[in-house]
Structure 1
Amino acid sequence: MLCALGSAFCFGAASVLQAMGARAAEPGTGGGVDVTLMWRALRQWRYVAGLGLDGLGFVLQIVALRTLPIYAVGAALAASLAVTAVIASRVLRVRLRRIEWAAVGLVCLGLAMLALASGKEGHEDVGAGLEWGLLVAAFGVLLVGAAAGRLPERPRALALGLAGGVGFGVVEVAVRLIDSADLTDPALYALLVGGGAAFLLYTSALHSGSVTTATAGLVLGETIGPAIVGVVWLGDRTREGLSWLAFLGFAIAVAGSLTLARFGEAPSTARTVETVETD
């Protein structure tokens, strides 16, 4: 659980840096999924620093996923929005409303409930069917993202964020299925394709749409689906008699995270603060 929370901290701090880098990148020629955006964003040091934190967070996430049920790790990762909110309030001088401080408290409460109720990860033998299904889902994320890029701004941001969340969810499940560096393992390619697609789609959402809406879609996509897969197919369970506590804690943590979704907008406020200080 400490690794899951450490991963959430890394992802929460990285999201601020990446959003700042993505928005500072040179604008592209279109409004949908901008394939070259990531390359332009890599010229921004904040985006590169964010990727470094993402890398550390991913290592911690792998350790957590090899020990905890997916639903517990997914809720902890969604809590990265609480980390972003607290960082924004302290470093970027973003004012949190009372309901948002309450949401931070709810996230912490939900995670504490999950920590008490979570059992060990399951070890069900699912065969190759789920692995191939993950690979199909990973390529499906790319297709959905391409279609979402043609939508108007508001539904586009939600669709790109949701598709990106599903891509990250594919990564979470794939990590559980990979036992060795077998180049014939479909789960390995699902991880690579799903992770790459998720980064591309979410970066495009940060750049061209409502980040609040996109982040809400991301949280839903990366928590609910993988949690269901973990319980139904992989055998994730709770401690004896505490299923209700795990379900309630998961719901509270995700609901609190959704309340904090606007903190993908923190970089805009940061630029305003920098301008005021310069003046």
Structure 2
Amino acid sequence: MVCALGAAVCFGTATVFQAVAARAAAGSGGGGTGAGGDAALLLRALRQWRYLLGLGLDGLGFVLQIVALRSLPIYAVGAALASSLAVTAVVAARLLRVRLSGTEWAAVGVVCAGLGMLGLASGAEGHQAGSAALKWAMLAAGLAVLALGAVAGRLPERGRALLLGLGAGLGFGVVEVTVRLIDSLAPLTLFTNPATYALVLGGGAAFLLLTSALQRGSVTTATAGLVIGETIGPAAVGVVWLGDRTRDGLAWLAVLGFAVAVAGALALARFGEAPVEEAAEEETAGSV
């Protein structure tokens, strides 16, 4: 659980640093939109220490996520990762002077309460290895995420953002499940395991869909879809097919904690991309 919460802290903090750097880069680049502008924006952002720090935190968070998934039920790790929105909200309020409403502060407390309940109720990870059929199913799910992105591109803005966010969540969910399905790092076993390719495909597709959702639609809507996609489905797979369980007699507490943590994260969905326009302008002005 310490690793899962550490991953949430890394991801949530990285969001703030990357948002500040990206928007400062946009403000100093002389304008330009579209695909070419986006590539130039990335290159400018990569020159800023805040963006690089954010990438480093993302990498550390991914390592901690893998460690957590090898030790905890998927439902506990998924809820902890969703709590990164609470981290983003707190960091933005502290470092960037973003004003949180009383409801949002209450949502941060709700997330913490839900994670506390999960921590008390969670048992050890399931010891079922997962069938070959499940591994192939995860590979098919990764392909389905790409197809979902193609379909979402034809929808109106609000529906597009929701479907892209949901697809991104499902892609990250594929990563959560496939980490448990890779039982050996021996090269021959690793490269003949369908779960290996599902992990790469699911993670890559999720990143592409989430980036598109945040650029082309409502951040709040996209992030709500993301939270739902990356928590509910993977949790069900862990319980039904991988043997994830709770402590004896505490299944009700785990279900309640999971629901409370996810509900709190949904209430903080606007922090899927830190709202730091003013901070970015200050950063740009200060560097001139």
| TM-score, normalised via structure 1 length | 0.91
Which structure 2 residues correspond to residues 82-161 of structure 1 after superposition, within 5 A? 82-161=86-165
Question: Are residue 234 (structure 1) and residue 235 (structure 2) matched?
Answer: no
Whether the aligned pair in 2 keeps the contact of 1:22 and 1:206 (CA below 8 Å) is no
Change in Cα spacing, 1:40 to 1:115, as seen in structure 2 (3 Å) is same
Deviation at 1:138, TM superposition (A): 0.3
Change in Cα spacing, 1:272 to 1:37, as seen in structure 2 (3 Å) is closer
Q: How far apart, CA to CA, are the structure 1 residues paired with 2:270 and 2:158? A: 14
Alignment partner for residue 268 of structure 1, among 268, 274, 277? 277
Deviation at 1:275, TM superposition (A): 7.5
Question: Are residue 53 (structure 1) and residue 61 (structure 2) matched?
Answer: no
Q: How far apart, CA to CA, are the structure 2 residues paired with 1:277 and 1:40? A: 19
State the identity as a percent.
68
Describe the SS at the equivalent of 1:95. Answer: coil
Give the number of equivalent residue pairs. 274
Deviation at 1:274, TM superposition (A): 4.9
Q: How far apart, CA to CA, are the structure 2 residues paired with 1:6 and 1:14? A: 12
Give the structure 2 partner of residue 7 of structure 1. 7
* Greater mean deviation of Cα atoms: 83-92 or 40-49: 40-49
Deviation at 1:134, TM superposition (A): 0.2
Whether the aligned pair in 2 keeps the contact of 1:12 and 1:83 (CA below 8 Å) is yes
Q: How far apart, CA to CA, are the structure 2 residues paired with 1:97 and 1:273? A: 23
Question: Are residue 16 (structure 1) and residue 20 (structure 2) matched?
Answer: no
Give the structure 1 partner of residue 45 of structure 2. 44
Change in Cα spacing, 1:145 to 1:49, as seen in structure 2 (3 Å) is farther
Whether the aligned pair in 2 keeps the contact of 1:19 and 1:206 (CA below 8 Å) is no
Equivalent AA in structure 2 for residue 62 of structure 1: I
For residues 125-166 of structure 1, what are the alpha-carbon distances to aligned partners after superposition, in whole Å with 9 as ceiling and x for unaligned?
Answer: 432000000000001101111221222211111111110010
Give the structure 1 partner of residue 267 of structure 2. 259
For residues 88-108 of structure 1, what are the alpha-carbon distances to aligned partners after superposition, in whole Å with 9 as ceiling and x for unaligned?
Answer: 101111111001100000100
Q: How far apart, CA to CA, are the structure 2 residues paired with 1:127 and 1:261? A: 35
For residues 210-239 of structure 1, what are the alpha-carbon distances to aligned partners after superposition, in whole Å with 9 as ceiling and x for unaligned?
Answer: 111111111111000000000011000000
Q: How far apart, CA to CA, are the structure 1 residues paired with 2:212 and 2:52? A: 16
Deviation at 1:17, TM superposition (A): 3.4
Equivalent AA in structure 1 for residue 6 of structure 2: G
Q: How far apart, CA to CA, are the structure 1 residues paired with 2:42 and 2:232? A: 30
Q: Which runs of 5+ in 2 are unaligned?
A: 27-31
Change in Cα spacing, 1:145 to 1:239, as seen in structure 2 (3 Å) is same
Give the structure 2 partner of residue 75 of structure 1. 79
Deviation at 1:250, TM superposition (A): 0.3
Q: How far apart, CA to CA, are the structure 2 residues paired with 1:199 and 1:16? A: 17
Q: Which runs of 5+ in 1 are unaligned?
A: none
Deviation at 1:38, TM superposition (A): 6.8
Q: How far apart, CA to CA, are the structure 2 residues paired with 1:67 and 1:39? A: 41
Equivalent AA in structure 2 for residue 162 of structure 1: L
| TM-score, normalised via structure 2 length | 0.88
Deviation at 1:273, TM superposition (A): 5.5
Deviation at 1:241, TM superposition (A): 0.1
Q: How far apart, CA to CA, are the structure 1 residues paired with 2:6 and 2:256? A: 22
For residues 42-85 of structure 1, what are the alpha-carbon distances to aligned partners after superposition, in whole Å with 9 as ceiling and x for unaligned?
Answer: 54135443332111101000110000000000000000000000
Describe the SS at the equivalent of 2:34. Answer: coil
Which structure 2 residues correspond to residues 201-212 of structure 1 after superposition, within 5 A? 201-212=209-220
Give the structure 2 partner of residue 28 of structure 1. 34
* Greater mean deviation of Cα atoms: 102-111 or 152-161: 152-161
Deviation at 1:15, TM superposition (A): 2.1
Alignment partner for residue 166 of structure 1, among 170, 173, 176? 170
Equivalent AA in structure 2 for residue 27 of structure 1: T
Q: How far apart, CA to CA, are the structure 2 residues paired with 1:38 and 1:164? A: 21
